[in-house]
Amino acid sequence: MTQVIAFPSALALGWLGERWSAKGVILICLAVYAGVCVWSSTMQQANDFYWLAAAIGLVMGGVQALSRSMYARLIPPHQAAEFFGFFNMLGKFAAVMGPALMGVASIASGSTRVSILVIVLLFVIGAVLLLQVKDNGTVHDGERL
């Protein structure tokens, strides 16, 4: 269900990224992800899981596409391989670090519901860092995306 929703949503968020800014849409997506984490920590019924999956699908594809395209605009064109290698390495690091932080929080708090809230902190840190990025919305030769 998440993947089915993610495809058209990625197209829609790409369109919004062109109209507003990729950075702005990514920040909205991070807020949705943070909200989903808070929501998931309070779920009571199995039906909530489907709504949660739909909410994730709304932002998943778009945030991936927009973040890669924004990153591609920011990096020096002649160093794309090195920068995207670094980008992918950080993705692998996050895939280990997120669950590890959740595990530590779960053990410390004794609650898996509390541990999911640690991920909210990561989204907030990511949003704060993204706010520091200056993006004029142009590609390297000066054309507007």
In tens, the pLDDT along 17-29 reads 999 999 999 999 9
Average pLDDT, the chain: 90
Does the global pTM surpass 0.95?
no
pLDDT of residue 140 exceeding 60: no
Residue % of the chain over a pLDDT of 70: 93
pLDDT of residue 145 exceeding 60: no
Q: What is the pLDDT of residues 24-78, one digit of tens each?
A: 999 999 999 999 999 999 998 989 999 999 999 999 989 999 999 999 999 998 9
**pLDDT score, position 93:** 93
pLDDT of residue 132 exceeding 60: yes
C-alpha distances in Å from residue 135, one per residue of 19, 23, 47, 55, 74: 14, 7, 40, 27, 7
2 φψ region: left (φ > 0), alpha (ψ -120 to 50), beta (else):
alpha
Window from 11-20, 62-71, 132-141 with minimum mean pLDDT: 132-141
